[in-house]
Copies of this chain bind each other. A is one copy, B any other.
């Protein structure tokens, strides 16, 4: 697991130089428990927090599992001092990731009411420092991670088009990109969609367009080219966009605004 490395910084920022109250002798057990219904993620990060402190930690559920209020997520056993030191950070990281997974599941469920195929995807609008954890939480919630970083896909944006023209911009980045990487093109009007496809786009992005316009764009695309839409889409907007026939609905909301899932830690 690679998730355990930020753990040191997380613990340092929470503990400080000297912690008087948790300096208790002996061994103890404890468990991380859900206090409301939701979808779990970030368990591996919570495990890493405890293992960093020399506390054994055993997940009770798997990322993507649904939990009810009162369900245990993780059981731990080790020196009381270290269990107490880890609990707050473990709750914080797993609560945050589970909030993202839960929000994603809700968005996916809303999309499924309308379409069997449309994917709900995250964006690069993630919380600084938590990119990997949030992307994996989105996957746990049934969403698509989208590109993981700038290097993961080539995206032709409006500023490129303004400078080089639509076909010119696509041509430029097709030459520079790796064969291993897809090319996505952001279009400003439905009419640009087939032009982008003809010029070599693997995916066409309809950003900040109303559902009706997205639908027109989707209808204009040839087979084999994917359609994505994004732009301030929240949970309530999902059904309308899902009905457009688009392949992917991308939502920064999943990662930048999902409320944490309420978790608590209980010793003994």
Contact = CB atoms under 8 A, between A and B. Distances in A.
A135 B173 CA distance: 17
A11 B22 CA distance: 26
A149 B62 CA distance: 26
A110 B27 CA distance: 38
Given A19-B150, A125-B260, A180-B182, 12 more contacts: A17-B132, A18-B145, A21-B155, A85-B150, A88-B150, A89-B128, A91-B125, A92-B124, A121-B178, A128-B129, A153-B181, A179-B228
Nearest to A144: B178
Which of A131, A232, A253, A267 has most B Cβ within 10 Å? A131
Interface stretch (A65-73, A156-164, A212-220): A156-164
Contacts of A85: 2, 150
* A interface bracket (residues with beta carbon within 8 Å of B): 35 or more
A159 B267 contact: yes
B17 A149 contact: yes
B267 A260 contact: no
Which of A13, A160, A252 has most B Cβ within 10 Å? A13
A148 B92 contact: no
Contacts of A176: 20, 23, 139
A154 interface: yes
Interface of A: 1-2, 5-6, 8-24, 53-54, 82, 85, 88-89, 91-93, 95-96, 99, 119, 121, 124-132, 135-136, 139, 144-157, 159-160, 163, 173, 176-182, 184, 203, 224, 226, 228, 232, 247-248, 252-253, 256-257, 259-260, 262, 267
Contacts of A14: 124, 131, 149-150
A126 B257 contact: no
A184 B21 CA distance: 11
